[in-house]
């Protein structure tokens, strides 16, 4: 899946000369914590609620609310925005966007094509992708297995599930990074309970992680 399919397109943006007070009010009004700064369609920076907090007077200051608001109304977005912004393109994979957000410790990535801003992908967007891929929200149950990393193990498990008349709604698997000998595999199927499925897999010799056997 690519960023272009999951990015937010209808953006609230500001320009360099927008007052910080207006930015603060827009963030609150739209319940967001960051906003791209543009010059026409060109991305020139990003401003966050953290930028505003860090550039506001200390809570211990003797400034009144009126005085603080006046201070923010005189301050321009360009003075506090981040100019060097990490970005992705519509053809960037969701995995790469997630890696970049995690590595750079940011909450969002503007999506650009050349200099033109097309959208934004946020940590919330990425979490929604994960939930979709895991089949969460669909009437189902799940079973977590510790499998050998041998070729064909997942296919064997899938065969057992098919023979039970069940459909695999999602399957996610990761190999142990230390030993590479085993993989943790999470399978979600179209059943009200995973008890029978997990029991059949245990009978077939598979190790079920019972601690997280059922999620409803």
User: What is the model's pLDDT at position 70?
Assistant: 77
Which CATH architecture best describes the domain 136-212?
Answer: 2-Layer Sandwich (3.30)
Q: For residues 62 and 99, is the Cβ–Cβ distance under 8 A?
A: no
pLDDT at 63: 63
- Numbered ranges of CATH 3.30.2130.10 in the chain: 136-212
Confidence class for position 216, pLDDT limits 50, 70, 90: very low
Q: How confident is the model at residue 203 (pLDDT cuts 50, 70, 90)?
A: very high
CATH 3.10.580.10 assigned to 3-130: yes
100-121: per-residue pLDDT in tens?
999 999 999 999 999 899 999 9
CB 125 within 8 A of CB 6: yes
Q: pLDDT tens-digit profile of 119-171? A: 999 999 999 998 888 878 788 888 999 998 888 999 999 999 999 999 999 99
């Amino acid at each position: 899946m690519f960023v272009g399919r999951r990015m937010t397109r209808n953006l609230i943006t500001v320009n360099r000369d927008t007052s910080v007070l207006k930015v603060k009010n827009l963030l609150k009004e739209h319940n967001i914590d960051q906003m791209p700064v543009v010059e026409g369609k060109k991305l020139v920076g990003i401003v966050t609620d953290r930028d505003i907090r860090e550039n506001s007077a200390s809570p211990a200051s003797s400034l009144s609310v009126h005085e603080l608001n006046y201070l923010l109304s005189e301050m321009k977005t360009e003075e506090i925005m981040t100019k060097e912004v990490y970005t992705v393109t519509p053809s960037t994979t969701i995995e790469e966007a997630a890696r970049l957000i995690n590595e750079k410790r940011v909450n969002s990535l503007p999506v650009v094509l050349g200099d033109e801003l097309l959208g934004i992908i946020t940590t919330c967007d990425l979490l929604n992708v994960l939930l979709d891929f895991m089949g969460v929200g669909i009437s189902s149950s799940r079973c977590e297995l510790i499998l050998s990393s041998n070729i064909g193990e997942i296919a064997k498990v899938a065969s057992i599930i098919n023979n039970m008349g069940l459909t695999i709604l999602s399957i996610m698997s990761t190999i142990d990074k230390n030993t590479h000998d085993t993989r943790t595999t999470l399978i979600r199927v179209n059943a009200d309970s995973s008890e029978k499925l997990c029991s059949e897999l245990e009978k077939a010799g598979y190790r079920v992680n019972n601690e997280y056997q059922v999620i409803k």
